[in-house]
Amino acid sequence: MRTNRLATENAVLKQAGPLNPFNVRQVVRALEDPEYGDLLEWDDLDELNPASVNRALKRLAKEEPYLFKTPEAAAALDDGRYKGKSPGGGAARSVSAKDKEDATLAEMLAAVGIKKDSAQQ
């Protein structure tokens, strides 16, 4: 693990705002512990990945909530994981299989010139 205390402190200042840490330096010291520090990811420019900092802060808030005034705010931190709906959704109205079958039948009957009697519905 790389240790650059100033970069870690800067990242904590940027990312831990919603958690309201009591003392930023204590949070940085906790992140230097391999238990949390191994969650931090550094890029080629020796900068911390913000999502990895959020993951470490979430874990730290869960394990050591006394470091923060509002540790419950950790749930709202973006840790780089997908939280949205599954792909393919987005239809305003869900169409049931019965509705699809009825529409297909009406379309086929209309194609051959037969109107569906509304009394049969």
Q: How many domains does the chain have?
A: 1
Residue 16 lies in a domain: yes
Between CA 98 and CA 95 the distance in angstroms is: 8
pLDDT on residue 120: 53
* 32 closest CA partner among 70, 2, 62, 75: 2
Residue 86 lies in a domain: no
C-beta of residue 49 within 8 angstroms of C-beta of residue 41 = yes
Residue 64 lies in a domain: yes
pLDDT mean across residues, the chain: 80
Q: Flag whether the pTM goes above 0.85.
A: no
pLDDT tens-digit readout, 36-93: 888 888 888 878 888 888 888 989 988 989 888 888 887 777 766 655 555 555 555 5
Residue 32 lies in a domain: yes
pLDDT on residue 112: 87
Residue 91 lies in a domain: no
Residue 108 lies in a domain: no
Residue 97 lies in a domain: no
Residue 109 lies in a domain: no
Helix and strand numbers, DSSP H then E, in the chain: 5, 0
C-beta of residue 27 within 8 angstroms of C-beta of residue 67 = yes
Between CA 83 and CA 42 the distance in angstroms is: 24
Between CA 57 and CA 120 the distance in angstroms is: 63
Residue numbers of the domain that contains 41: 5-76
pLDDT on residue 91: 54
